[in-house]
Structure 1
């Protein structure tokens, strides 16, 4: 696991990122991934109050709701960055979302199986992560979402 500093945040440069949903994606097997909030997602959502995951999900498409998120600055669906079947939830994080603040890369949210490798191409590739993250930070600053 390689962490780098970028615009005041520590990010991992060995993961894929969904910059529209502020999520990281880690390949854990040939067709399985683990998903969590990236540091910017944690920052722009504000204090997390509750994560509620939908039980008994079938096969999902990119953008389908896996659950709902209630936070200081956002209330709405938690969408999957890739298609697949949810095979695990991180119950420790669901029961205490504050764990995400200690290390968002350890506090994964859910795992997907049946992910198509080609679909990873829709995400920010690890080699482009620093540039993309810098651009997202600047976009949020211009929009007034980040004040520093």
Structure 2
């Protein structure tokens, strides 16, 4: 497990650093998408989660869910395009799971990717992702998780 400024960033995930989201390819070919610990810290306590509906097509770098906290309301932008195959009912019932476990129970949506290889080509992983987040947090003046 990698970490930057106290924010956990699992090195086996793919990250869209500019959008503060991660994606993981599952064994069934779907892709699980979630917010990073950094995004969850920036937002503050998440109080509402409104995902796109199952069956809806989403485009890369466009919203797959709307997330609301006391400080912020905005889109979670998916790093891969495709069809939403599942939404996280546990997060619908308890949006705070996004803050508590962003890489586990707090995932946002599952997508059947339309172009996995094309969409993930520019994403970062491992030490490259950690370095990119370090630069982003420094530029943003972020104190830490």
What is the TM-score when the length of structure 2 is the normalising length? 0.86
| Bigger relative contact order (CA 8 A; separation at least 6) | 2
Residue 41 of structure 2 is matched in structure 1 by 43
Deviation at 1:118, TM superposition (A): 1.9
Deviation at 1:124, TM superposition (A): 1.5
**Which residue among 49, 58, 64 is the counterpart of 2:56?**
58
Residue 24 of structure 2 is matched in structure 1 by 26
The C-alpha deviation readout for 1:41-78, integer Å capped at 9, x for no partner, is 11111121101123255322112222321112221223
Q: What is the distance in 1 between the residues matched to 2:102 and 2:65?
A: 18
Aligned length: 142
Q: What is the distance in 2 between the residues matched to 1:31 and 1:115?
A: 11
What is the TM-score when the length of structure 1 is the normalising length? 0.85
Deviation at 1:102, TM superposition (A): 2.3
Could you tell me which runs of 5 or more consecutive residues in structure 2 were left unpaired when the two chains were aligned.
Answer: none
Q: What is the distance in 1 between the residues matched to 2:54 and 2:97?
A: 24
C-alpha change, 1:8 and 1:52, in structure 2 (3 Å) is same
Query: Secondary structure at 2:66's aligned position in 1?
Result: strand
Query: Secondary structure at 1:86's aligned position in 2?
Result: strand
Deviation at 1:127, TM superposition (A): 4.4
Deviation at 1:126, TM superposition (A): 3.1
Root-mean-square deviation (CA, aligned residues, Å) is: 1.9
User: Residue 52 of structure 2 contacts residue 84 of structure 2 at CA under 8 Å; is this kept in 1?
Assistant: no
**Which residue among 6, 17, 22 is the counterpart of 1:8?**
6
Q: What is the distance in 2 between the residues matched to 1:133 and 1:64?
A: 21
Q: Which runs of 4+ in 1 moved over 3 A?
A: none
User: Residue 68 of structure 2 contacts residue 74 of structure 2 at CA under 8 Å; is this kept in 1?
Assistant: yes
Could you tell me which runs of 5 or more consecutive residues in structure 1 were left unpaired when the two chains were aligned.
Answer: none
Please tell me whether residue 131 in structure 1 is matched to residue 142 in structure 2.
Answer: no
